[in-house]
Amino acid sequence: MSGTVSVARDGAVATVTLAHAGKLNAISVAMWQSLASGFAALSADTSLRCVVIRGADGNFAAGADIAEFPQVRGDEDALRRYHVETIAPALAAIAGCTHPTLALIEGVCVGGGLEIACNCDLRIAADDSRFGVPINRLGFPMAPGELRGLLALAGRAVTLEILLEGRVFGAAEAERKGLLTRVVPHAALEEELHATVTRLCAGAPLAARINKTTIARLAPAPEPLSEAELDAHFAYGRSRDHAEGVAAFLARRPPVFTGE
């Protein structure tokens, strides 16, 4: 199984669930593609008032499915397509959803999971959930289309700390860093979800859509990178460190980086 993204409707609320059994809901290519098409369809559904995204079985998501990397990111061109044509459109579809979006977070929310959460409007987390982007141990940086959401939410200093240290940290620290809307006891998570969704659905949907559009206009994203800048970014695909990082992860051993 390569994981699934399911959508359930309850009146005006859609719940999107990430599921990848045995992998802490690590996000496969098929799941990224389902997120892109699924959120495009949800965004066009004017009967909705709110979209919730969560993970199955007690975790949000543990990032991309690294087991796929040798096949889907096997060379520099494939690596670039994976990040530009697979992950970035999914995150853009979440960020561009016309309805209020809420990430309900428990357990692990790292890497691509944190990227998904950063592109939602609200993020409510259990107090025992965990966050981070430990991709420095895999020998690669965060791609531009993925960095955009984290940087807009956390700012330059916090983003640098998260990426340069590659540390996994708790919900209280994530809230202090500005990554979360609210943190509640794990036992109160579903109650808080219900209360928040009730408030979102009670608001005027047209006002919500206008607020999202106007705020996006008043806080515009930077210009996309040029082709030359993208070439420079994804050149790491040829590096020894990147190959070593992925190989070490799959072999469950510490990586040995040389800066090459």
User: What is the share, in percent, of the chain residues with pLDDT greater than 90?
Assistant: 87
CATH architecture of the domain with residue range 4-187: Alpha-Beta Complex (3.90)
C-alpha distance from residue 57 to each of 23, 105, 187 (Å): 11, 12, 15
The 8-class DSSP code of residue 85 comes to I
The pair of three-digit structure tokens given for residue 197, joined into one six-digit string: 């969704």
Q: Where are the beta strands (DSSP E) in the chain?
A: 4-10, 13-19, 50-55, 101-105, 108-110, 122-126, 130-132, 169-170, 182-184
- Structure confidence at residue 141 (pLDDT): 95
74: confidence class by pLDDT, cuts 50, 70, 90 = confident
Q: Evaluate if residue 1 carries a pLDDT over 80.
A: no
pLDDT reading at 33 higher than 70:
yes
Q: What is the pLDDT of residue 254?
A: 92
Residue 220's pLDDT band, with cuts at 50, 70 and 90, is confident
Q: Which of 13-22, 51-60, 251-260 has the lowest mean pLDDT?
A: 251-260
Give the confidence band of 236 by pLDDT, cuts at 50, 70, 90: very high
**pLDDT at 221 (0 to 100):** 81
Mean pLDDT of 71-84: 91
Side chain identity at residue 13, one-letter code: V
Domain ranges across the chain: 4-187
Task: Report the 10 Å Cβ neighbour count for 52.
Answer: 23
Q: With bands split at pLDDT 50, 70 and 90, how would you rate the model's confidence at 253?
A: very high
Kindly report, residue by residue over 12-31, the tens digit of the pLDDT: 999 999 999 999 999 999 99
Q: How confident is the model at residue 3 (pLDDT cuts 50, 70, 90)?
A: very high
Over residues 34-56, mean pLDDT? 98
Cα–chain center distance at 45:
22
* Backbone dihedral angles phi then psi of residue 107, each to the nearest 5 degrees: 65, -135
Give the pLDDT of residue 2. 87
Residues 6+ apart with CB under 8 A from 151: 159
Looking at residue 241, what is its pLDDT? 92
> What string of DSSP letters covers 10-44?
ETTEEEEEEE-TTTTT-B-HHHHHHHHHHHHHHHH
Please report, to the nearest 10 degrees, the dihedral formed by the alpha carbons of residues 43, 45, 47, 49 taken in order: -10
Determine the Cα–Cα distance for residues 228 and 226; give it in Å rounded to an integer: 5
* 102-111, 186-195, 251-260: the lowest-pLDDT one: 251-260
Please, which residues bridge with residue 18 across strands?
Answer: 5, 55
